[in-house]
Amino acid sequence: MIRGRRAEIEALTALLDAACAGTGGALVLRGEAGIGKSALLEQTAAAAGGRGFRVLGTAGVQAEVLIPYAGLDRLTRALALPTGPATQPYRLATALLEALGAAGDPVLVAVEDVQWLDEASWAALAFAARRLGADPIAIVLTARDGDDVSGRLAAAGLAERRLESLGPDDSAALLAAVAPGLSPVLAARVLEQAAGNPLGLVELGMAASRGGGAALLPARLPLSERLERTFAGLVAELPPITRGLLLVAALDDGDDFDELIGACARMTGAPVVADDIEPAVTTRLVRVDDQFRVRFRHPLLRSALRQAATVAQRRRAHAALAGTVADPERRVWHRAAAAAGADEALARELTETARRAQHRQAATIAVEAFERAARLSAEPGARGGRLLAAANAAAEQGDPATVVRLLAEVPEQWLSATDRAWHGLLREVFLGTGWSGGDRFASFVEAVETMCREGDTDMALESLLAICLRVYWTVPDPETAGRLLAAAESVGVPPGDPRLVAVLAQVAPVARGAFCLKQMRTLRTSGEANPRELFELGLGAGAIGAFSLGVSFHAAAQVELRAQGRIGLLAKSLVSHALQAAHLGDARTALGLAAEGEQLVAESGERNWLPTAWIVSGFAEALRGDVAAAHRHADQAEAVLMPGGRHPLLALVRQVRGTAALAAGRPGEAFRELRRVYDPADAGHHGHTRLMLLGFLAEAALGCGELDELRRLAGEMAPLGAGRSPALLAGLRFARAVLGDSAESFAEALAEDVEWPFERARLELAYGVWLRRQRRAAECRPLLRAAADTFDALGATAWADRARAELRASGETLRRPAEAAQGLTPQELQIARLAADGLSNKDIADRLFLSPRTVTTHLSRIYPKLGIRSRGELSRALRTA
């Protein structure tokens, strides 16, 4: 019987109604233990079954919290979805959505005890729940209150409803129903101690009926502990062998009955048979289903059993389970729980478990495994390194409280040179000690040099990869930069190793730019790099301004990263890809990638990349001519970068504001903003970013008359062209054309191989303007028309409008094409483009981590916005949009 939950029942009914109507949704019921979450979930499941829903369920189990996909096991088995330690949560989420929606009938997924779901199961479920839209799926989850749960739910962004205590009338009615005949005095004591908690009313009411007032003492215990004591009292009445079975079941990370019997026999040294569980079944403490799986009546029973057992008893139970379970991953956790002292061999096994968990992005499991490995470590150095690895995994997960706690446990004297440098960098980020720039690079260099001397090639390369992006943005002093470069080149791998090329491009983008460019062109066609290496090459290509190469590397990496569900790396790849697309003037592509990248950055915990995602969106909005949106994004990023001391990235903020000023027709303001990137005394100065902005700076200088300053700056930049940076060479080409101020200088620039359409269109626009002002209208028009067409195709609307304005001034009118795609959201535009490329709805769903039904619904909304009726018309509509 459920009392006092009318609002919650109405919300759950509305969720089922929406699922029946084809609009999926999710709701989390949260509250203290015993507040009635399970009862509401059970009633909702019964109501859904009565309405023709397919009802599926699963639950988190405290003992399984470190086993990947333990929480989803029942669900994935019911849907015949294979899972294993290597399965990526985000790929499984897509498969779940597809499997749940395959039949077309409404589905209810009931998930109990979210607080005890393993991280992989939670990541998959939360990801799927956020993508319900056009799916007839309702997901209802229950979660017990707690800070860890609050953090988990806040990051997930799912709708919540908190269950409060019952009021006096509802409490009295429930107590009268479960414990009729209590004296007024006993009833009043139960009502006082239960304090509106439904489970407390039921359990304490029944205890009072059996044992009178003595059963309610001591009243000073908090409710959860009081209920655990109640359960413990029930267990104490059972035969010893049954109690042993229940303890093993409480500590097990599985629920197989035969496994429990085998482990209990090993623990007690006595024969155990199936009938030994019957006393617990009879008292309704557990049930054994048709598949011979053991289920506890309430999660508090597990807690009570764990709490009541001594340390020695728990260790014996874990040791027995370690000797019984077949799965190596489960076995190592039980061995660790049973260990009584240092065990370096076991610590190494747990460290490998942690690394595998990191690879599949199960960060919570990685943190726990590294930390347990540290506790088992015999040597301080190994212990410190593993605690630092746990802190690093927590940082990847976006768990600052755990990072701070672990960093405090690690004395620097325990650490190697490389680990000390990492320790310092983590302290900067999470303890607010300030941006140290390249202060810690010397420690990294020494460590890498040692690794090279000892022949540890892979570790040396991995260490360099870990810091090379930081090196690029910091621009260390010449001596440190030289040592970093020498260390990288002494690693001892072939010159075409993709990892080495990516490192060199970021450590020495000018000095080794030409070499890296040559190697990258070879690697792009060889197909030898793996997805992570392709991502690193994409970063490296961006560092030397080879944006076309960078875009192709990132696009290739994303295909595999999506297939593998490696969402953390995918998120960073999308943001970097978007930035390079914006540098190529492709505003439409940049906006779509940045929007998805920002979403996945937040979901994957890679929040240090959020300001970059905002900056990229601002850059693309500036190209499109939405100056207000560009400034909002720039302000948003600056508000995070300035307090954190991340000043080098302010160069990108200047870039956004400068581009926005150009779009708004304010070249003087644009020149002042962009000029700051070239000024070593300015907080927004960055030596490498200035290579990428010379074309925009020259355009601004042309508009405001700052040609002398442009000539000086171009002269400073010209020697750096030896690095063969395509971005710098394009900027120098445009600057020479502008500074030449002649038909010959423009014609010469256009005669060169201008690789990027935006740069060619910018030259055509500038040359067309020059010709018009020379009163050579007939000659300027073809150039202005071509420029406008290119800018329109790229979505660089502000530049296209300027080309059309110049064309009108020459006496010819060119109508602005209908912006059919303007009304599409970034995700709709992404789906439309993929559909136009010939991908099926399922292929699109797999790529974007959606269900096929959701893709179908998006397309049904896209067609009217584009003024078309079928998929076959998409390509034409997008070409003219």
Same domain, 27 and 54: yes
d(CA 808, CA 815): 10
The predicted pLDDT at position 189 comes to 76
Residue type, 751: A
Structural domain containing residue 72:
6-162
Residue 698: name the closest of 647, 748, 732 by CA: 732
Each residue's pLDDT tens digit, 506-548: 999 999 999 999 999 999 988 888 898 999 999 999 999 999 9
Each residue's pLDDT tens digit, 579-621: 999 999 999 899 999 999 998 888 776 677 899 999 999 999 9
pLDDT of 757 over the 70 cut: yes
The most confident of the ranges 90-94, 276-280, 389-393 is 276-280
157 falls in which pLDDT band (50, 70, 90)?
confident
Same domain, 327 and 390: no
The predicted pLDDT at position 603 comes to 77
Same domain, 33 and 153: yes
Q: Whole-model pTM?
A: 0.74
The predicted pLDDT at position 821 comes to 62
The predicted pLDDT at position 105 comes to 87
pLDDT of 219 over the 50 cut: no
Taking each helix axis from N to C terminus, what angle separates 168-178 and 184-194, rounded to the nearest 10 degrees? 120
Domain-embedded: residue 97: yes
For residue 847, what is the domain's CATH number?
1.10.10.10
Domain-embedded: residue 229: no
Same domain, 425 and 506: no
pLDDT of 177 over the 80 cut: yes
The predicted pLDDT at position 627 comes to 96
Each residue's pLDDT tens digit, 687-729: 999 999 999 999 999 999 999 999 999 999 999 999 999 999 9
The predicted pLDDT at position 220 comes to 41
- Specify the higher pLDDT residue, 455 or 500: 500
Secondary element (H or E) of residue 83: none
Same domain, 799 and 762: yes
Written as six digits, the tokens of 807 are 């064309």
The predicted pLDDT at position 315 comes to 92
DSSP at 115 = G
Domain-embedded: residue 521: yes
Average pLDDT over residues 410-423: 75
User: What value does the mean pLDDT of the chain take?
Assistant: 86
Same domain, 377 and 261: no
The three-class DSSP label of residue 788 is: helix
Average pLDDT over residues 834-862: 85
210 falls in which pLDDT band (50, 70, 90)?
low
The predicted pLDDT at position 320 comes to 94
Share of the chain above pLDDT 70, in %: 91
Task: Using only the alpha carbons of the chain, give its radius of gyration.
Answer: 32
Domain-embedded: residue 265: yes
Same domain, 807 and 846: no
The three-class DSSP label of residue 491 is: coil
Domain-embedded: residue 180: yes
Question: Of 817, 840, 862, which residue constitutes the final position of a domain?
Answer: 817
pLDDT of 671 over the 80 cut: yes
CA angle 304, 307, 311 (to 5 degrees): 145
Same domain, 66 and 128: yes
d(CA 287, CA 477): 68
DSSP states of 243-280 as a string?
HHHHHHHHH-S--BHHHHHHHHHHHHSS---GGGGHHH
Domain-embedded: residue 275: yes
Same domain, 385 and 415: yes
The predicted pLDDT at position 227 comes to 67
Domain-embedded: residue 720: no
The predicted pLDDT at position 226 comes to 63
Domain-embedded: residue 463: yes
Same domain, 844 and 779: no
pLDDT of 444 over the 50 cut: yes
Number of domains in the chain: 7
Question: Of 486, 511, 538, which residue constitutes the final position of a domain?
Answer: 538
Each residue's pLDDT tens digit, 819-837: 656 678 878 888 888 888 8
The predicted pLDDT at position 826 comes to 79
Written as six digits, the tokens of 217 are 């003492």
Question: Of 388, 413, 433, which residue constitutes the final position of a domain?
Answer: 433
Same domain, 205 and 295: no
pLDDT of 438 over the 70 cut: no
The predicted pLDDT at position 741 comes to 94
Same domain, 13 and 154: yes
Average pLDDT over residues 116-144: 88
Find out whether 480 and 438 touch, Cβ atoms under 8 Å. yes
